[in-house]
């Protein structure tokens, strides 16, 4: 079989094995890389058929020819997991080399692979499996990171590794790879992805209603995805807390270990068990398309979660960023602005603040241009109403316009 035929056969295999993900499997866009040698030989960098956030699946001809069709199909299902569950947007990984990216990739793999195992689709040799490592299943990537840290230390003392070094591409951490074609921007747009995700989630819900067996990770994802309006407070809370814990060090597991990010706190090493107060900046869309009543309500929610006590910085933003306000309570924020919207100005101002914020929370209806790259802090976008959009690098909580207590 040619490379093309193997990819086509792998898609059919994947769609057949997990019919509730069939539309996603067919939305993957194979990008054929040039073979470095003739005849082509497998390049280990492309062992996983790495994907990017525009759903491009990178196919190294040598790897495709040497990998069984079923295994290529398994990687397709695996990548659908990374893409649909927004691992790139959830990633705590920052630019630059380091073990952090590798650990996040492993944790994201753990979140996906247990669902594949539940479908009796174990991964190829060397991929990470929570159950094989004795870890609990059905956890999120954020929960697996500290578990894997602890386990890697223990295994490392015996000279063993958690898994082989596998790179799943920028779909896992949002960092562009050198082989990606970033120029032409080919691939699924934000709208394509949004519609695709909604239809996959609706399809899974239908199957749940019809009492089909669906792995629990997918069940949880589809339920969250189709009912954002019901659970927006819980979702927003989870996102902000997730942002805080990834910026403030692994709080829950830090009891036995000093913070690895001690340097971030101006040289003062925080005592174990004490969460350093994360510095949160709010960027508020005051262009007028969101009413002040709705903003006030949300500000109270957000500050209750992110900064129950202490000072808080806020930047109002319309076409330009207004001066930063430092307040003690959400009610003290003066909502100034009007006219057009450009949240790029607000985010640039937030990123330039000193001391540098740990977490940025944006409140907007999303009818705005966004920066192409993530700001240098974890960013949560509260998207108010049904319209608008948020960038792929942000964690997003969609909030119904009529949100009331």
Give the binding site for Zn ion (CB under 5 A).
Answer: 109, 168
Min separation Cβ 11 and Zn ion, Å: 18
Which C-beta is closer to Zn ion: that of 52 or that of 109? 109
Q: Which helix (H) or strand (E) holds 316?
A: strand 312-317
Query: Looking only at Cα atoms, what is the longest distance across the chain?
Result: 68
Q: Which is nearer to Zn ion, 25 or 316 (CB)?
A: 25
Measured from the CB atom, is 13 or 104 closer to Zn ion?
Answer: 104
Nearer to Zn ion, 109 or 279 (CB): 109
Cβ atoms within 10 A of the Cβ of 295, count?
21
Residue 119 in contact with residue 18, Cβ under 8 Å?
Answer: yes
Least CB distance from residue 145 to Zn ion, whole Å?
A: 14
* Structure-token pair, residue 183: 């120029």
CA gap 316, 347 in Å, rounded: 10
Nearer to Zn ion among residue 14 and residue 302 (C-beta): 14
C-beta nearest to Zn ion: residue: 168
Indicate the helix (H) or strand (E) that contains 363.
Answer: strand 359-364
Residue whose CB is less far from Zn ion, 109 or 285: 109
Helix orientation angle between 190-209 and 216-226, rounded to the nearest 10 degrees: 120
H helix or E strand, kind and range, residue 263:
none
Q: How far is the CB of 225 from Zn ion (least distance, A)?
A: 20
Q: How far is the CB of 171 from Zn ion (least distance, A)?
A: 8
**What's the closest the beta carbon of residue 109 comes to Zn ion, in angstroms?**
4
Dump the DSSP string for 367-383: -S---SS--SSEEEEEE
Q: Classify residue 255 by its DSSP letter.
A: G
Q: What's the rounded Cα separation, in Å, for the pair 147 and 135? A: 8
Closest approach, Cβ 166 to Zn ion, in A, equals 7
Our CB check for Zn ion shows the closer of 168 and 381 to be: 168
Q: Which of 120, 116, 158, 141 is nearest to 25 (CA)?
A: 116
Bridge-based pairing state of the strands 378-384 and 359-364: parallel
Residue 82 CB, shortest distance to Zn ion, in Å, is: 6
SS3 232: helix
């Amino acid at each position: 079989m040619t490379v093309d035929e193997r990819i086509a056969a792998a898609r059919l295999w994947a769609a057949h094995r997990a019919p509730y993900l069939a539309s996603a499997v067919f939305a993957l866009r194979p990008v054929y890389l040039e073979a470095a040698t003739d005849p082509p030989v497998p390049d280990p960098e492309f062992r996983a058929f790495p994907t990017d956030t525009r759903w491009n699946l990178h196919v190294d001809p040598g790897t495709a020819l040497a990998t069984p069709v079923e295994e290529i199909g398994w990687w397709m299902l695996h990548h659908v997991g990374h893409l649909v569950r927004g691992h790139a947007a959830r990633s705590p990984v920052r630019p630059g080399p380091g073990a952090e990216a590798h650990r996040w990739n492993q944790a994201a793999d753990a979140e996906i692979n247990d669902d594949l195992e539940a479908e009796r689709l174990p991964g190829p040799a060397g991929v990470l499996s929570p159950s094989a490592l004795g870890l609990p299943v059905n956890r999120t990537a954020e929960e697996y990171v500290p578990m894997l840290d602890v386990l890697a230390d223990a295994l490392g003392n015996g000279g063993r590794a958690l898994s082989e070094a596998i790179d799943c591409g920028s779909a896992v951490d949002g960092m562009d790879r050198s082989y990606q074609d970033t120029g032409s921007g080919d691939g699924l747009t934000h709208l394509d992805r949004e519609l695709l995700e909604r239809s996959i989630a609706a399809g899974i819900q239908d199957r749940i209603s019809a009492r089909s067996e669906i792995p629990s990770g997918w069940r949880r994802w589809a339920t969250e995805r189709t009912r954002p309006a019901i659970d927006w407070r819980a979702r927003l809370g989870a996102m902000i807390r997730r942002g805080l814990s990834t910026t403030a060090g692994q709080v829950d597991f830090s009891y036995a270990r000093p913070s690895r990010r001690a340097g971030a706190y101006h040289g003062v090493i925080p005592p174990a068990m004490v969460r350093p107060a994360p510095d949160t900046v709010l960027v508020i869309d005051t262009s007028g398309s969101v009413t002040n009543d709705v903003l006030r309500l949300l500000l109270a929610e957000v500050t209750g979660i992110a900064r129950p006590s202490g000072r808080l910085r806020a930047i109002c933003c319309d076409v330009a960023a207004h001066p930063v306000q430092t307040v003690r309570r959400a009610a003290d924020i003066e909502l100034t602005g009007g006219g057009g919207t450009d949240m790029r100005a607000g985010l640039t101002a937030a990123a330039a603040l000193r001391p540098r914020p740990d977490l940025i929370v944006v409140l907007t209806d999303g009818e705005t241009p966004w920066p192409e790259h993530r700001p240098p802090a974890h960013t949560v976008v509260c998207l108010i109403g049904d319209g608008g959009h948020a960038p792929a690098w942000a964690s997003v909580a969609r909030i119904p316009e009529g949100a009331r207590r």
